[in-house]
Chains A and B, each alone.
Chain A
Amino acid sequence: MKVIDNVWHLIKPEWLEYLNTCPALQFPKDLDLPKDMTANTLLGENSWELNQDELEWYTIGGYDPHGTNYEGFDSHNCPFDIAETINFGRPKNAGWWIVRQHPGQYMPWHRDLTCANDGCYTYWIPLNDWEPGHIFVYADKTISHYKKGDVFQFDDSYEWHTGCNIGYSTRTVLQIRTYD
């Protein structure tokens, strides 16, 4: 996990305005997960499928499948496409999503299992300066004192990681994933 760039100059004020003020998808609440969390299930019209780590959040960890642990944006619920502007040289093969966490929200410990193929690159870009209580842990490393717009490239898109907000203000992070 290393800082390779800072792209704050590419972040448009109207994106931030939207992200700071508009409703987002509530996870996992809006996934409409079944009460029976003992089997991996295709879910609703969005065909969400839980990966093994996510399934264990509910079956082993006891997390509430109908609560809100974090909020999310992507091209489906935003009037803009960030990958048109920030794509690390792969405009045709870039996807993005944004995680917004209000104080007390978190994402349980997990891997991004769907991207474990070769030629996948994951970039983690905070949209706020670091403050105490804003936690990002990648493998056994804690990422602190970052600046908004810093670009951290995952060494391995498949690595265990988590992001949490037990601080005093909202934490918003952009993630971009590209493929060869």
Chain B
Amino acid sequence: MKLKNILLTLALVMGSLTVFGQTSAPDNTQPYVIFDSTYALESTTSSSNTSADIYYDNTSGTAVKGIQFSFEYDNTVFDAPTVTYNNTSGPAGYLSTNVDETNGIVKVVWVYTGSSTTFDITAGNMFSVELPFDANYTNGSIMDLSFTNDLSPYYVTAAGTDATLGWSDNGGEFVEPAFDYTATILNSPSNPADSIDVILQKSSDGSTWADVVTATTDAQGEAVFSENIDQAFWQIRLKIASGLDASTALSTADANMIAQIAAGVQNAAGVQWYTANVNQATGITVSDSYLVFSRLAQGNTSYPSNPDVLFFTEAQYNTITNSNVDPSVSIPGQVEFLSPQINNTTAGNYYLLILGDANGTGLN
């Protein structure tokens, strides 16, 4: 219970740092308007607009009665934004905005309209900017939000005069919606494959794919991805490159077992239709056993003409393990693994089988 509380506290502290770390005044020399480091972009198919908060903070000790500033947005991506005041300083204020859609400039003026002489603008997410997608926008790079001098950045002093309002631009970057996925690479259901590099790929057309990031499986065989990819636009898949060296999984025991299967002493079952068929020719023969013996004897890191590893989806793997006949014709496996699209999923199991690893040691 005590440990749980500590973890909870730690989580809250970390959360606070994450939320407010980019929304505070950088110094106490003047009041600031602030752009956060990132803003979550809505999916292009969403009925909601992308929303970005503009923050205000002031640790200078000077009372501020109003502010004016301007900022730039990507007018190739968004239609005219709307700015709303979030009542962070109470309702006695009047907001004026002007959007120059041609140049992508928004001017903002907010002034306290009440009668209190002690009023001071309260820090917080003072404004929200709603950015509807342009009808022609599908996906692509988006210019960050940034402050501009199109409207002189001023704050209003208690004497009714202007003073310079600071900018704190922490990025203002739009990021696509989060895509979180865990790929588990297994030798068998109980034998995870460690240290496998798994590549997350995306494609706008299904033919040209780009690598997004590579994650390496841990001891549980898990490669964890947490990226910003709009699944409504991108096709997403996993890739594991060919050329894995599975030497550590091979031994003379494997070669002997293959020889016994070839001699009819043992019957091949399940995955052995692949692991014992090293040369991937029809049937399991002595030549398969030879290839293993030969590789071990010569200390080679690969077979002359065959890969070390074949990849399968979980469904394929289950079909294979339940098969009493050789399924390799219909399910040949992939030397370079390219998963089916994983859009709108959060996890998946994938299997690899090592040619020559007849006794199922696996890649660990």
Are both chains from one complex?
A: no
B residues with a Cβ closer than 8 A to A are none
A residues with a Cβ closer than 8 A to B are none
